[in-house]
Structure 1
Amino acid sequence: MTTSPEKTELCQALAEQRELLLITVRGLDDTQAARRTTVSGLTLGGIVRHLAQGEETWTQIMVKRDGELPGGMLDMEQYRMGEGDTLAGLLERYAVAARATEEAVAALPDLDIRVPLPRTPWSPPEPEYWSARRILLHMIRETAQHAGHADIIREALDGANTTAQR
């Protein structure tokens, strides 16, 4: 495995955003994690599920580099806690996905590798490529965005947030 300061720093930035998200679900039970607290359909459990699936998907895209659309990437149900989901199970899935991302990044020769993006209904007609660096930056942005959503949802749930836990 090749580790560079840039890989280390980007993985640390992603880990920091994950930690902020995880603060918002501390002490919750499954019912609370599945509860909507805003007009949005988002729930805390749904956000954890979406981010776990997102890391799994983007890591697969980065590792395989085959341009294939990973199963479930466009599934809108990824934003909701499923019928049999538990918060503990979703958190374990997220932890596994995080470890897989970090291992995949460490194994890359460098972050400049070109990765073909999967074709989606909104893709441009010609193939599009991102560097592994851009994929990592996308995952950081996505995690930070949803950590903010989670903070609002948690505050509406019981007044707690990433800086004021109850």
Structure 2
Amino acid sequence: MTTTEQTAVTGERADILAGLAKARHFLLHTAQGLTDEQANTRSTVSALTIGGLIKHVAEVEKGWATFATSGKHGNQDDWSDSPGEFTPELVAAWEANFRLVDGETLDGVRAAYAEVAAATDELVRTVDLDTTYELPEAPWQPAGVYWTVRRVFLHLIAEIAQHSGHADIIRETIDGQKSMG
């Protein structure tokens, strides 16, 4: 199937797609007109940058898409073998997820996210929303918790929206631009 022959969807699948599109729009809107330097600006006390948030959301979305098709989170190894000690190297690697690093550009992370989003949208159109998997055990997640694929997509909408809010605050402190209001 080509990108122009997308499966028509209605009902809850259409609602999920609309929710994802709206959340993504607000996140990407915060980056409009920014240079790579501005997109990599830490304008608050956190390590977050607009370019880094787009990069992070793409990785998170890719991880949840893997979970929706296999029951294994794509980023599970990032925490499953962690000794629980936050070394300076571990902290630096984590913070690099939230900024543009050498060789990365705002256009590049936006393009990568567009590919991830298109793949996720295709999953929403085709995957069985009632399939259930156990969430991977993590420091913030005990064993024995199960989610449907439907809940995964709803979680993605919430996560993207939350990070859109972070990006909006960062953008406002860079140049006064606001996504809303």
- Provide TM-score, normalisation by structure 2: 0.81
Letter of the structure 2 residue corresponding to residue 28 of structure 1? L
Q: Which residue of 2 aligns with 1:22?
A: 28
Q: Which residue of 2 aligns with 1:131?
A: 148
Change (3 A) 1:41 1:72: farther
Letter of the structure 1 residue corresponding to residue 106 of structure 2? L
Q: Which residue of 1 aligns with 2:137?
A: 119
Change (3 A) 1:69 1:55: closer
Structure 1's unaligned 5+ residue stretches are none
| Alpha-carbon distance between aligned partners in 2 of 1:138 and 1:116, rounded to the nearest angstrom | 15
Q: Which residue of 1 aligns with 2:61?
A: 55
Please report the RMSD computed on the Cα atoms of aligned residues, expressed in angstroms.
2.0
| Alpha-carbon distance between aligned partners in 2 of 1:89 and 1:82, rounded to the nearest angstrom | 12
| Alpha-carbon distance between aligned partners in 2 of 1:98 and 1:22, rounded to the nearest angstrom | 12
Post-superposition shift, 1:121?
3.3
| Alpha-carbon distance between aligned partners in 2 of 1:42 and 1:115, rounded to the nearest angstrom | 31
Letter of the structure 2 residue corresponding to residue 5 of structure 1? G
Q: Which residue of 1 aligns with 2:164?
A: 147
Letter of the structure 2 residue corresponding to residue 15 of structure 1? A
| Alpha-carbon distance between aligned partners in 1 of 2:77 and 2:177, rounded to the nearest angstrom | 32
Change (3 A) 1:40 1:68: closer
Change (3 A) 1:119 1:152: same
- Percent identity between matched residues is 40
Change (3 A) 1:73 1:17: farther
Report whether the alignment pairs 1:105 with 2:124: yes
Letter of the structure 2 residue corresponding to residue 55 of structure 1? E
| Alpha-carbon distance between aligned partners in 1 of 2:25 and 2:70, rounded to the nearest angstrom | 27
| Alpha-carbon distance between aligned partners in 1 of 2:78 and 2:64, rounded to the nearest angstrom | 9
Aligned equivalent of 1:34, options 30, 40, 45: 40
- Provide TM-score, normalisation by structure 1: 0.87
| Alpha-carbon distance between aligned partners in 1 of 2:8 and 2:62, rounded to the nearest angstrom | 21
Residues 80-122 of structure 1: CA distance to partner in whole angstroms, max 9, x if unpaired?
222221000000011011001011121213x221022223234
Aligned equivalent of 1:78, options 78, 81, 97: 97
Structure 2's unaligned 5+ residue stretches are 1-6, 80-92
Report whether the alignment pairs 1:11 with 2:11: no
Please say if residues 30 and 87 of structure 1, whose CA atoms lie closer than 8 Å, have aligned partners that are also in contact. yes
